[in-house]
């Protein structure tokens, strides 16, 4: 985590989410002061607490994708018949980013 904090500029913000590698180490508040840094550990459920919040957030997300503001990159594509391999690759940390399973009938093997 210290390396991530070191990368931040003045008034930078570090967002910590997920726990794939276990719980993060504690950070003394004093390490934020030299650059006036912000640190947050958000929980999705605090942002979609009501159905209205969920729907509004979904509308904003899909609008950003539709306009190209957010680009979706698929890093790994597996045919559905290889779901076990996809899971093994995930568990074995052989993947990075998004993984998608698609029906075999539409799978076009990478060249």
Neighbours of 78 (CB within 10 A): 19
The values of phi and psi at residue 40, to 5°, are -135, 150
Strands 38-40 and 13-15: parallel
Structural domain boundaries of the chain?
Answer: 1-41, 43-72, 76-106
Give percent of the chain above pLDDT 70. 98
- CA gyration radius for the chain? 19
- The secondary structure of residue 50, as a DSSP letter, is S
For residue 111, name the pLDDT band (cuts at 50, 70, 90).
Answer: low
Average pLDDT over residues 34-62: 94
Q: Which residue has the tokens 């993984």?
A: 99
For residue 74, name the pLDDT band (cuts at 50, 70, 90).
Answer: confident
Average pLDDT over residues 72-95: 93
Q: Which has more confidence, 109 or 5?
A: 5
* Calpha distance 89→86 (Å, rounded): 5
In this prediction the pTM is: 0.55
User: Which pLDDT value is given to residue 78?
Assistant: 95
């Amino acid at each position: 985590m210290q390396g991530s904090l070191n990368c931040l500029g003045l008034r930078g913000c570090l967002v910590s989410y997920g726990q794939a590698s276990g719980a993060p180490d504690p950070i003394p508040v004093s390490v934020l002061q030299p650059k006036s840094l912000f640190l947050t550990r958000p929980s999705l459920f605090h942002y979609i607490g009501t159905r209205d919040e969920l729907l509004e957030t979904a509308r904003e997300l899909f609008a950003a994708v539709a306009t190209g503001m957010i680009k979706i990159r698929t890093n790994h594509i597996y045919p559905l018949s290889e779901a076990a391999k996809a899971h093994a690759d995930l568990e074995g940390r052989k993947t990075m980013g998004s993984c998608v399973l698609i029906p075999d009938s539409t799978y076009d093997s990478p060249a």
